[in-house]
Structure 1
């Protein structure tokens, strides 16, 4: 009997030794994206004055450092050519050489070595003036709806286009607009369609279901004009 009990105890011991211990898995805390940077200078819709260099000059960009960010991408868009240049900096400020006599848009993207997530700031516009300039063209209009490549639904075959304009001289009060819309992008880009004039920053147009449309806005003040990028959209 004692031998039988001993064998049972040994079996229980061996089973307990061979059993796998459960390992408690602690989930990793996901890294957070850095905060959005707050832009400082050049201020929005402003004119940056430079010295006697009429070809290029240095512009200092400043922003409030964002929590969690270890570096920043400075994105500068030439609003006349609609081309964007991106430069990386460890912190604010950042100095970049730009051609004068042109409108620009800038934005800061906060980045971190701890995560692939980023955070993008607002976009601000400024005009970099050269020597002798006293009057400046309005900024190209920012097309807000429909966005480029967006699919939209139209109510009763009507769609409201919206955009925003600004001028470094007069603000918005003296601006007027001409809107070019067509199903042919080349006709819009070359302004080969009749423009629809308006003082507001909206225009309702007729559209057809399944159609693809392209649009562009010309902005004018008392002395000069500018043209937006060409956006395309599809109607459901």
Structure 2
């Protein structure tokens, strides 16, 4: 009987290992959350006033599959400072933010049984200000040349992405030189690109884009850099 019992025990162990009984996780990886509010490229009017300069904004998203917790990231597009907030298993979060200020936000989904995470789309919005009837454009975002990239000369093509709550951008100005805060205007255009800008070989350049709307409001992009080859 002892010999038979040993064979039965060995068979059970074999079956457990072959069926994943050796401790392998069978959990699914989390999926990306679908954002609800604030709406992309919009003015957020639903916030609750806290003071003359701040209001509470409620962020909402749909539940993501195989997700136990969410982290919300909110970026002040004027200061380029990103703050993260732990929302736990909730699918909404109330945050106090500065008024008349552009922000972007996104959500990361996490699962306790997985080392993987999933990132939602990124959205932009303006937190409504008292008596504001026309907002400055959102700061433009670089497309090319990429930040800290190396590009061949003797000329460089620039492109960026611009957006505006009021949809009334009329002009972009490209500034570029070798100073960390570039002040040399290289050209103005109503489109989101400017091509054929001359550069010197083996030189580090800094550049930014100033967006201007029909009411005269302006916004500066972050400062980007690249090296010409």
- TM interval, shorter chain, is 0.7 to 0.9
Report the equivalent of 1:17. Answer: none
Deviations 1:198-230 (A, max 9, x none): 111011222344332211110000121001111
C-alpha displacement at 1:82, in angstroms? Answer: 1.0
Contact (CA 8 Å) 2:169, 2:211: kept in 1 or not? no
Task: State the partner residue of 2:205.
Answer: 213
- How many Å separate the matches in 2 of 1:51 and 1:89? 19
Please say if residues 213 and 234 of structure 1, whose CA atoms lie closer than 8 Å, have aligned partners that are also in contact.
yes
Judged with a 3 Å threshold, the aligned counterparts in structure 2 of structure 1 residues 34 and 51 are, in CA distance, closer, same or farther, namely closer
1:195, distance to aligned residue in structure 2 (A): 4.2
Residues 6-17 of structure 1 correspond to what in structure 2 (within 5 A)? Answer: none
Cα displacement (A) at 1:233: 2.0
The answer (yes or no) to whether the contact 1:73–1:109 under 8 Å persists in 2 is: yes
Query: Higher strand share goes to which structure?
Result: 2
Asked whether the equivalents of residues 111 and 117 of structure 2 are also in contact (C-alpha less than 8 Å), the reply is yes
Q: Which residue of 1 aligns with 2:175?
A: 180
Summarize deviations over 1:13-61 as a string: whole Å, max 9, x none: xxxxxxxxxx878684686542111111101110012466422111011
CA contact (8 A) 2:48 2:57 kept: no
Larger Rg, first or second structure (1 or 2): 1
Which has the higher mean CA deviation after the structures are superposed, 48-57 or 83-92? 48-57
TM-score between the two structures when normalised by the length of structure 1: 0.79
Q: Give the conservation status (yes or no) of the 8 Å contact 2:173–2:185.
A: no
Cα distance, 1:235–1:222 mapped onto 2, change above 3 Å: same
In structure 2, runs of 5+ residues without a counterpart are 1-13
Q: Which moved more, 1:59-68 or 1:43-52?
A: 43-52
Q: How high is the TM-score relative to the length of structure 2?
A: 0.81
Q: Which residue of 2 aligns with 1:68?
A: 66
Cα distance between partner residues in 2 of 1:111 and 1:209: 46
CA contact (8 A) 2:145 2:151 kept: no
For the structure 1 residues 180 and 45, does the alpha-carbon distance in structure 2 shift closer, same or farther, using more than 3 Å as the test?
same
After superposition, the Cα gap between the structure-2 partners of 1:158 and 1:195, relative to the gap in structure 1 and judged at 3 Å, is closer
1:106 paired to 2:105: yes
Question: Are the counterparts in 2 of residues 59 and 98 from structure 1 also a CA contact under 8 Å?
Answer: yes
**TM-fit CA distance, 1:118:** 1.6
Q: Distance in 2 between matches of 1:107 and 1:234?
A: 31
Count matched residues.
208
1:195-214 correspondence to structure 2 within 5 Å: 195-204=186-195, 205-214=197-206
- Please list the CA deviations of residues 64-97 of structure 1 after superposition, one character each: whole Å capped at 9, or x if unmatched: 1211221111111111111111101122111111
Distance 1:145 1:119 in 2: 26
Q: How does 1:96-175 map to 2 (within 5 A)?
A: 96-149=95-148, 151-154=149-152, 157-169=154-166, 171=167, 174-175=169-170
CA deviation digits over 1:89-121, x for unaligned, max 9?
122111111111111111111122222322222
